[in-house]
Amino acid sequence: YVERMKEGQEVIYYLTGASRAAVENSPHMEAFLAKGYEVLILTDPVDEVWVEQVPEFDGHRFQSVAKGQVDLGDADGDEAAEEEKSKREADFAALLPWLAGTLGDHVKEARLSSRLTTSAACVVGDADDMTPMLEKMYRAMGQQIPPVKRILEVNPKHPLITGLLTAHEKKPEEPGQAEVAD
C-alpha cells in the first residue's frame, strides 16, 4: 500500500465494515475511488480495535474515510475552486443549521461534503468518535455506552439536496421539508 500511495499522500486510508460488499459500496468511498486513492478494506471485527492500537505504519498514520473532514487536495492553490467552495458554503448557510436542528436528536452537525460524488448524503463521525461498528461490539459485550451523535454530510451537487435548498429558500417553514430531511 505505502509503495502505491499517491504523491503527497501522507496517510493510509481505511474503512471498516461488516462485509467487503458493504465497504466497497459505502458512500464514504466515492471521492477516494473517483480520485484513484486506495482504501484498505477492513472487515474483521478485531480491525476496529487494531487500528486504534496501531495508529501508524512506516511513518504514515491510519485515517478512516468515515471519520473527520476529508481533504483530497481538490482546491490546493486553485483560486477558482476556492471561490466555488466559498460560494457553496454561502448558498447553504441557512439550510445546514436548519438540517442540524431538524435532525438534532440524531446528528450533532450538518455540513457540506467533499467525500460524496454521487450519493445525496452520508453520516460520518468526528475524528475522535467511536465508529458505529466498535459501538455495536461494545454493546454486544454488555458495555453501557452513550449513543454517539454523528455528522450529516450532504452533497451540494446532488439534485435532492439542491431541491431541498431551493424549497427551503422559498418556504423555510414548510412542514414537508422536515419529513424529507428525516
Question: Average pLDDT over the chain, rounded to whole?
Answer: 88
pTM of the full predicted structure? Answer: 0.84
Tell me the three cell numbers of residue 63. 485515517
* 60/6 Cα distance (integer angstroms): 13
* 69/60 Cα distance (integer angstroms): 18
Chain segment 40-61, per-residue pLDDT in tens: 999 998 888 898 889 899 999 9
For residue 74, what pLDDT is reported? 56
Strands 150-154 and 121-124: antiparallel
Share of the chain above pLDDT 70, in %: 97
Chain segment 123-143, per-residue pLDDT in tens: 999 888 887 777 888 888 888
Q: What's the whole-number mean pLDDT along residues 7-35?
A: 93
Among 163, 180, 160, 169, smallest CA distance to 27 is for 160
Tell me the three cell numbers of residue 30. 466515492
Q: Judge whether residue 77 has pLDDT over 60.
A: no
For residue 153, what pLDDT is reported? 95
- Count of residues for the chain? 182
Tell me the three cell numbers of residue 99. 438540517
User: Which positions ≥6 away from 90 have C-beta within 8 Å?
Assistant: none
Question: Which of helix, strand or coil describes residue 42?
Answer: strand
For residue 73, what pLDDT is reported? 66
Chain segment 139-163, per-residue pLDDT in tens: 888 888 888 899 999 999 999 999 9
CA atoms within 13 A on the CB side of 137: 14
DSSP letter (8 states) at residue 125: B
